[in-house]
């Protein structure tokens, strides 16, 4: 099969999976809903209004993780993965196609979520001005990268439940640990390497000097995690029996 | 009984699950020893003193004092009382204190009783750090104060004019030797205020404050020799229980238990798989054929996975609270001491937290029948509200979130105590939950009960 056919096959599997459309709607609703609520209750003056208005990304990413884990995990669970690999012996191409489909779908689903978030922020928060491109596009890319990371983790663990646990653990563990470490240097280092704590710095618009890591570099850290897990996933998939 | 054994066999024979549960324990213990890593605090230099009740206390003040043998009393007029909150901040902090104190000795943490005027809390009679009685609410100076020691009892009185006296309270401090120290003291606590300069963490400004009081008309009575004239005393510090928070010292036991969250991930995954794996492989039909009363199957699963999680969490927490804290102290990290009962609550609470979350995940797995959504729902409702509360939301919204969501259950791990007599930022990010420990746990139980009812409904109504 050529590359386009592999991609189309994955797209067909993705869009016909039960509940997938609802999950994608969930990405947008979760992102927009929590964002709007955070903007509403924060009301008035907050230090970084744009970032507060994008709080919902924290919720949206969890739904993204489900969306991204299922295409891999379900195929292993049902054993259909052997059929896929029989049809396309270049296993890396199958995983690559899955990553592309997931990334594209998440990007499309995230757009309304992010737009509504920014709109709600503008509506309820004061001092909301200028420079919306980096946080807006950053939020979109952040969600896509979390999707790619989840595809990679799922390829490594081959089980939806374990993969989703690992993804959420990986995302939330670093900020939680940073909160409990008294030493400021250690806290900063933890925030610099954590995929969520570093990646979310792309949403900041104020106090950039105080961030543990610069906005785009932070997103780069998340990209490195995603790429790393995808590579390990591909390597293991090529080596292991399916 | 057979049902329980069947479910236990299913749990222990899946190698991945056993490994995951084992890793949960490793995660809790491993992270428990890591935070703080090493410090340069070696007791006794930076250990806090403990009061008569065993709690950690702050005991820093200035005073003019002399010994008093047997019974006796001292009367004084507080002529003036003023202070500041660091450079640029005029005025007394609310818990600035000036008055008369009787104490067992000059060592830190000694038993005492004191009657005082305060910055904004009127006249007070306090003893042994944690006990506080209110006198008249107006704290106008000049004001007369008298303290009388009669055997083991100490009486505080106040007066507007030095003629008509009102008793504030008579208290019995834990230990008063026959010869005590008595005198005029002044102190003014650390103050802190939240500011919102940096996103992501509640910024805190604050620092030491200072107070100065003038005492005159000192009139000793009883066995105390004549003193006279007036004294002006300036002090900074506090005579009160120690609190953690912005001005806290060292690491709290709660912080060493942060690994609970990672443990939770493993436990929740296993608990959800317990039921979703049966649906996926179709073995659930065999199970229900063997035991047609489906609710009993669900109960047996809940009991088995809950018990396993409880034992695991408790054992891991014991290791963290004992070995972990000891190794941190050995590295020179100061770990706040907690009363034994609180330590027991932390340990049992951690086990309970894991157990209830496991049952929650099991119920969600039964309800949703998909492991990915069940795991996400269980983890997200536990973790996301907590993160939002400590890092993003304004205080009011944060408190409501930690009252209403399953994340309220983390309150059971709170080791810091809240005291009315100490001003502090009692915020979630400083380790203070809006609900009492078991109250928060009850909220988590409520959600779990709700999910279980939903699970029971779906289990009995839907095809397997």
Contacts of B396 in chain A (CB under 8 A): 41
Q: Confidence band (pLDDT; 50, 70, 90) for B387? A: confident
B197 close contact with A: CB closer than 8 A: yes
* Residues B239 and B108: beta-carbon distance below 8 Å: no
- Span B430-446, average pLDDT: 90
Q: What is the pLDDT, as a whole number, of residue B393?
A: 82
Which of these ranges, A73-82, B76-85, B263-272, has the smallest mean pLDDT?
A: B76-85
Contact between chains at A182 and B250 (C-beta distance less than 8 A): yes
Contact between chains at B383 and A172 (C-beta distance less than 8 A): yes
* Averaged confidence pLDDT in chain A: 90
Q: What is the pLDDT, as a whole number, of residue B222?
A: 47
Contact between chains at A186 and B383 (C-beta distance less than 8 A): no
Of residues A142 and B246, more confidence is placed in A142
Q: B44 preceded by cis ω (within 30°)?
A: yes
Cα separation, B422 vs B416, whole angstroms:
13
Contact between chains at A52 and B384 (C-beta distance less than 8 A): no
Q: What is the pLDDT, as a whole number, of residue B341?
A: 85
pLDDT tens, residue by residue, B173-187: 988 898 898 888 999
Contacts of A173 in chain B (CB under 8 A): 261-262
Q: Which residues pair with B56 in a beta bridge?
A: B50
Structure tokens at A6: 């592999």
Q: What is the pLDDT, as a whole number, of residue B197?
A: 39
Opening angle at CA B353, ends B349 and B357, nearest 5? 170
B49 DSSP 8-state letter: P
Contacts of A161 in chain B (CB under 8 A): 269, 272-273, 276, 371-372, 374-375
Of A193-197, B81-85, B225-229, B327-331, the range with the highest mean pLDDT is: A193-197
pLDDT tens, residue by residue, B89-119: 778 888 889 999 999 988 888 999 999 999 8
- Those of residues 56-75 in B touching chain A at CB distance below 8 A are none
Residue of B nearest to A66 (CA): B372
Residue of B nearest to A173 (CA): B262
Q: Min CA distance, B32 vs chain A (Å)?
A: 10
**Reported ipTM:** 0.89
Q: What is the pLDDT, as a whole number, of residue B245?
A: 59
Q: What is the pLDDT, as a whole number, of residue B139?
A: 65
Q: Which domain holds residue A200?
A: 3-239
Q: Confidence band (pLDDT; 50, 70, 90) for B44? A: low
Q: Residue B332: pLDDT above 80?
A: no
Nearest by CB to A161, from B251, B276, B394: name it: B276
Opening angle at CA B368, ends A14 and B441, nearest 5? 130
Q: Confidence band (pLDDT; 50, 70, 90) for B448? A: very high
Q: Which CATH fold would you assign to the domain B57-241?
A: Jelly Rolls (2.60.120)
- Total tally of structural domains belonging to chain A: 1
Q: Residue A178: pLDDT above 90?
A: no
- Span A81-108, average pLDDT: 93
Structure tokens at B286: 């065999």
Structure tokens at A62: 């969890």
* Residues A101 and A186: beta-carbon distance below 8 Å: no
* Residue ranges, CATH 2.60.120, chain B: 57-241
Closest CA to A114 of A27, A176, A222: A27
Residue of A nearest to B272 (CA): A161
Q: What is each CA distance from B297 to B73, B287, B308, B366, in whole angstroms?
A: 73, 8, 17, 11
Cα separation, B439 vs B22, whole angstroms:
30
* Averaged confidence pLDDT in chain B: 83
Q: Is the dihedral of CA B441, B444, B446, B452 positive or negative?
A: negative
Cα separation, B218 vs B232, whole angstroms:
12
Q: Confidence band (pLDDT; 50, 70, 90) for B250? A: low
Choosing among A20, A58, A182, A197, which should be mutated to test the B contact, i.e. which has the most B CBs within 10 A?
A182
Closest CA to B158 of B117, B188, B130, B129: B117
Structure tokens at A236: 């293991």
């Amino acid at each position: 099969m050529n590359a386009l056919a592999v991609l189309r096959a994955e797209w067909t599997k993705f869009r016909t999976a039960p509940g997938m459309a609802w999950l994608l709607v969930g990405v947008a609703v979760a992102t927009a809903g929590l964002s709007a609520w955070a903007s509403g209750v924060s009301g008035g003056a907050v230090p970084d209004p744009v970032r507060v208005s994008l709080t919902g990304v924290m919720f949206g990413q969890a739904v993204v993780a489900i969306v991204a884990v299922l295409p891999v995990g379900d195929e292993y669970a049902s054993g259909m993965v052997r059929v896929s690999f029989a049809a396309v012996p270049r296993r890396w191409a199958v995983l690559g196609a899955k990553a592309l489909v997931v990334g594209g779908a998440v990007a499309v689903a995230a757009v309304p979520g992010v737009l509504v978030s920014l709109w709600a922020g503008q509506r309820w928060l004061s001092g909301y001005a200028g420079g919306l491109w980096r946080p807006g596009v950053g939020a979109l890319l952040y969600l896509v990268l979390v999707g790619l990371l989840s595809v990679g983790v799922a390829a490594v663990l081959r089980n939806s439940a374990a993969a989703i646990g690992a993804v959420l653990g990986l995302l939330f563990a670093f900020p939680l640990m940073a909160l409990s470490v008294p030493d400021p240097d250690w806290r900063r280092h933890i925030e610099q390497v954590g995929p969520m704590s570093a990646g979310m710095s792309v949403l900041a618009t104020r106090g950039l000097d105080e961030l543990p890591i610069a906005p785009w570099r932070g997103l780069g850290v998340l990209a490195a995690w995603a790429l790393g897990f995808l590579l390990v996933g591909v390597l293991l998939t090529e080596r292991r029996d399916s | 009984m057979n049902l329980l054994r069947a479910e236990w066999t299913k749990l222990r024979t899946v190698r991945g699950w056993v490994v995951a549960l084992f890793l949960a324990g490793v995660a809790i213990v491993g992270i428990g020893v890591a935070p703080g890593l090493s410090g340069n605090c070696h007791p006794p230099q930076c250990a806090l003193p403990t009061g008569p009740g065993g709690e950690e206390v702050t005991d820093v003040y200035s005073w003019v004092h002399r010994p008093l043998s047997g019974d006796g009393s001292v009367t004084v007029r507080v002529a003036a009382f003023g202070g500041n909150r660091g450079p640029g901040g005029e005025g007394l902090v609310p818990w600035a204190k000036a008055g008369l104190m009787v104490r067992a000795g000059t060592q830190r943490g000694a038993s005492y009783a004191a009657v005082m005027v305060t910055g904004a809390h009127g006249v007070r009679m306090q003893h042994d750090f944690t006990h506080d009685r209110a006198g008249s609410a107006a704290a106008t100076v000049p004001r007369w104060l008298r303290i009388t020691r009669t055997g083991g009892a100490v009486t505080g009185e106040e007066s507007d004019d030095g003629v008509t006296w009102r008793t504030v309270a008579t208290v019995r401090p834990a230990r008063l030797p026959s010869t005590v120290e008595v005198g005029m003291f002044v102190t003014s606590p650390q103050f802190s205020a939240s500011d919102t300069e940096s996103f992501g963490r509640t910024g805190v400004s604050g620092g030491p404050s200072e107070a100065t009081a003038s005492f005159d008309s000192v009139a000793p009575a009883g066995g105390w020799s004549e003193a006279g004239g007036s004294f002006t005393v300036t002090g900074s510090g506090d005579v009160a229980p120690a609190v953690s928070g912005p001005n806290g010292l060292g690491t709290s036991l709660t912080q060493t238990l942060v690994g609970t969250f990672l443990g939770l991930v493993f436990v929740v995954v296993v608990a959800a798989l317990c039921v979703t794996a049966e649906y996926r492989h179709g073995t659930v039909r065999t199970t229900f054929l063997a035991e047609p009363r489906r609710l009993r199957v669900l109960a047996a699963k809940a009991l088995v996975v809950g018990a396993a999680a409880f034992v695991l969490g408790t054992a891991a927490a014991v290791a963290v609270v004992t070995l972990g804290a000891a190794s941190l102290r050995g590295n020179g990290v100061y770990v706040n001491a907690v009363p034994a009962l609180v330590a027991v609550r932390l340990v049992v609470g951690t086990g309970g937290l894991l157990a209830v979350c496991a049952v929650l995940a099991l119920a969600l797995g039964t309800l949703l029948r998909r492991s990915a959504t069940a795991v996400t729902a269980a983890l997200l409702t536990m973790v996301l509200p907590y993160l939002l509360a400590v890092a993003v939301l304004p205080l009011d919204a944060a408190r409501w979130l930690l009252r209403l969501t399953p994340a309220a259950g983390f309150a059971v791990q709170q080791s810091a105590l809240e005291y009315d007599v100490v001003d502090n930022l009692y915020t979630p990010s400083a380790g203070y939950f809006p609900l009492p420990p078991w109250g928060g746990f009850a909220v988590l139980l409520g959600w779990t009960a709700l999910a279980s009812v939903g699970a029971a409904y779906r289990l009995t109504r839907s095809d397997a």
